[in-house]
Amino acid sequence: MNERALARVDLAAVERNCARLRRALSGGSELCAVVKADGYGHGALRCAGAALAGGATRLAVATAREAAELREAHPQAAVLTMGALSAEEVDVALAAGSDIAAWRAESLALIADRAREAGRAARVHVKHDSGMGRLGNPDPEQVLALAASAAADPDLELAGIWTHLATADEPGGFLATQLEAFAAVASVARERHPGVLLHAANSAATLAEPASHYDMVRCGIAVYGLDPFGEDSGARELEPALSLHSYVADVKRFEPGDSAGYGRTWRAPERTWVGVLPIGYGDGVRRGLSNNADVLVGGRRRPLVGTVSMDNVTVDLGPETDVSPGDPAVLIGSQGGERISAEELGARLGTINYEVTCGISARVPREYG
């Protein structure tokens, strides 16, 4: 280890995951790789290139700044900015040549004005809120009216009509309710606007519901080999691309009652050895993992004991150990025959794998292979 903490990202795994997702598509649907939030913590620019090599034909982000950074790295890529934009951010997104989401007449007018000033038409995707309850227009007639306005405006180009699914990763009927609502809009839009790009599916819907595929799917978490259902990614032929590494900086002998970390939340029940790793919540190892996780050292699971601090964690190595300072440690990934997944950490934290990888901080270098 040349670093106290290091995230290794396997770009070939990203490429293979995209190829696997492409194989799941029906009816000629395209794959849009979502690389927002710095590629879910994996590194947007490098992962975008791997996704395109794996068969993605489009990229999506949430913010105008993300679109600008992506455009600089991938000048020929088709990009969609999905989030809400201020007037200034609309300018940034348009300068980046990004498609833009819209769901109100006022936003269409703003985009048209900015496009006119920029001297080229803006490509817009009108968003239908079919049940997510966030951004988007819930009124089907208004969605179709906005699409007609965009198609008729010389400063706009109607590029797409889309929605986002709230429960594709859960069993139950609401996914069907949303798809039924969107289908009513999509069928009319198809007649009135031939060639418009219809899209609804996220990673979970892509893998679970072919009826959601339409003309394009927007896959995020699955691109990085993580399971959108929070289960076993390997069972869905996905390969986790990221592993998180540190090393044992010190090994200390503990007597019964000796404590590790702030608050003395763990005390040795017997004589044992404790390893100190120079990684902590400043790097994205959540404090909620205090006394609530394992770390791989020497190919074995070792309990994370004591409170996670900003820059260090401690692990119980047992009453006898052959672990020495400098030995490698793995917090996410495999070592020997053991594996710790982002899904496991998410379950321990009561959250999702998305938050685990997105939470790996910028001070952790990414190494690409």
- Whole-number Å distance between alpha carbons of 16 and 8: 17
Residue 61 half-sphere exposure toward CB, CA atoms < 13 A: 27
* Residue-by-residue DSSP string for 298-341: TTEEEEEES---SS-EEEEEESS----TT-EEEEEEEETTEEE-
Residues assigned a catalytic role: 36, 262
* Chain mean position to CA 292: 24
Residues 6+ apart with CB under 8 A from 221: 40, 203, 227, 228, 353, 354
Structure tokens at 40: 């879910």
Question: From CA 356, how far away is CA 286, in angstroms rounded?
Answer: 8
Q: Treating both helix axes as pointing N-terminal to C-terminal, what angle do 64-73 and 87-95 enclose, rounded to 10 degrees?
A: 10
CA 158 vs. chain centroid, Å, equals 27
- The three-class DSSP label of residue 217 is strand
The DSSP symbol for 234 reads G
158 by DSSP, 3-state: which? strand
Angle between helix axes 87-95 and 105-118 (nearest 10 degrees) is 50
Please report how many Cα atoms fall inside a 13 Å half-sphere around the Cα of residue 166, on the Cβ side: 16
